[in-house]
């Protein structure tokens, strides 16, 4: 199609493109709010109890809706930084949930696919971070290189964890809990940080105090460190024991 025809088509048919993004935006917002609220409930609830399992599954559904719609909208807008954020959130939530699935002959292919995805996200995020750092503006779609390097390091660390799990043919006990906890908590941190700091303009001006908004934004990281220390250095275990998710065994 000639260039002048492309310009004419975009000018007269842009309204046909808008409903796609506008349709996904409410789902994205609802998924994010649902994920953040249910995620904090799951953190405070007794681990392994009914409230923890129920709120945890609601958290998973909300975060999958948030990450999927966010990635699609970022692709539509060519926002590479947000694409990385959506992909790593989807990856961490999915692998955190799959930690407690029933293992069978097909599990190895799921684990290998997750490992490839995690390492790919890590490499792409790190490469994009260097590209942004060397660019004249030092930003891409408003995103500085630091979050991209953090996402890259986290994704590569998670990918190495997947390799370890594959070689050991599954994790048990404390290592299983650590894998589940840190992936879920970090994905909650991505959502809370994106909302309370990345979307601070939606809050009323009297509430738009960044040190105050930083508290709920970084609170998941505080809980992440707390639970990692508690699980790693003590004999604490969830009671009653966490059961495999019935949805994944279907």
DSSP 236: -
Would 238 be classed as within a structural domain? yes
CA 65/CA 31 separation, integer angstroms: 5
Quote the pLDDT of residue 184: 94
How many Cβ atoms are within 10 Å of 207's Cβ, its own excluded?
10
Would 95 be classed as within a structural domain? yes
CA 224/CA 38 separation, integer angstroms: 16
State the average pLDDT over residues 85-92.
96
Least confident range from 14-23, 65-74, 112-121: namely 14-23
Would 129 be classed as within a structural domain? yes
Classified as helix, coil or strand, 143 is strand
Helix axes 145-167, 107-133, angle to 10 degrees: 160
Q: At 16, is the pLDDT very low, low, confident or very high (cuts 50, 70, 90)?
A: very low
Would 1 be classed as within a structural domain? no
State how many domains the chain has. 1
State the average pLDDT over residues 98-120.
82
Classified as helix, coil or strand, 140 is strand
Q: Tokens 């609830």 — which residue?
A: 45
CA 233/CA 249 separation, integer angstroms: 32
Measured CA to CA in angstroms, residue 208 lies from 198, 216, 238 at distances of 12, 13, 38
pLDDT over 80 at 103, yes or no: no
DSSP 139: -
Q: What is the domain range of residue 202?
A: 21-249
Tell me which of 104 and 138 has the higher pLDDT: 138
Mean pLDDT rounded to a whole number for the chain? 83
Q: Which alpha helices (DSSP H) does 45-79 contain, by range?
A: 50-77
State the average pLDDT over residues 61-82.
93
Would 99 be classed as within a structural domain? yes
CA 143/CA 42 separation, integer angstroms: 30
143 DSSP β-pair partners = 140
Cβ–Cβ under 8 Å, residues 162 and 95: yes
Q: At 104, is the pLDDT very low, low, confident or very high (cuts 50, 70, 90)?
A: low
Q: Tell me how far apart the terminal alpha carbons of the chain are, to the nearest angstrom.
A: 48
Least confident range from 2-6, 85-89, 120-124, 160-164: namely 2-6
State the average pLDDT over residues 213-240.
83
Residues 118-128: tens digit of each pLDDT: 999 999 999 99
Residues 48-62: tens digit of each pLDDT: 788 988 999 999 999
Helix axes 210-233, 3-44, angle to 10 degrees: 60
Would 11 be classed as within a structural domain? no
CA 95/CA 110 separation, integer angstroms: 9
Q: At 12, is the pLDDT very low, low, confident or very high (cuts 50, 70, 90)?
A: very low
Q: At 176, is the pLDDT very low, low, confident or very high (cuts 50, 70, 90)?
A: confident
CA 128/CA 144 separation, integer angstroms: 10
Q: At 199, is the pLDDT very low, low, confident or very high (cuts 50, 70, 90)?
A: confident
Would 220 be classed as within a structural domain? yes
Cβ–Cβ under 8 Å, residues 8 and 46: no
Quote the pLDDT of residue 247: 41
Would 13 be classed as within a structural domain? no
Model-level pTM? 0.82
């Amino acid at each position: 199609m000639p260039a002048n025809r492309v310009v004419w088509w975009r000018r007269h048919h842009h309204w046909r493109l808008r409903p796609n993004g506008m349709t996904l935006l409410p789902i994205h917002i609802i998924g994010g709010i649902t994920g953040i609220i249910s995620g904090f409930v799951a953190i405070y609830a007794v681990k392994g109890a009914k409230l923890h399992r129920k709120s945890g599954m609601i958290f998973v559904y909300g975060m999958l809706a948030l990450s999927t719609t966010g990635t699609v909208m970022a692709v539509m807008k060519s926002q590479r930084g947000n694409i990385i954020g959506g992909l790593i959130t989807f990856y961490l939530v999915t692998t955190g949930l799959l930690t407690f699935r029933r293992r069978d002959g097909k599990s190895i292919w799921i684990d290998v696919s997750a490992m490839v995805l995690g390492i790919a996200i890590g490499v792409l995020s790190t490469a994009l971070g260097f590209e942004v750092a060397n660019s004249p503006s030092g930003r891409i779609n408003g995103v500085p290189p630091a979050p991209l390097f953090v996402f890259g390091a986290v994704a590569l660390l998670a990918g190495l964890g997947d390799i370890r799990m594959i070689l050991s043919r599954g994790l048990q006990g404390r290592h299983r809990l650590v894998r589940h906890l840190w992936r879920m908590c970090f994905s909650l941190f991505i959502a809370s940080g994106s909302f309370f700091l990345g979307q601070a303009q939606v809050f009323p001006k009297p509430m738009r105090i960044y040190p105050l908004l930083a508290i709920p934004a970084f609170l998941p990281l505080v809980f992440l460190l707390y639970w990692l220390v508690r699980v790693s250095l003590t004999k604490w275990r969830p009671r009653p024991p966490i059961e495999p998710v019935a949805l994944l065994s279907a």
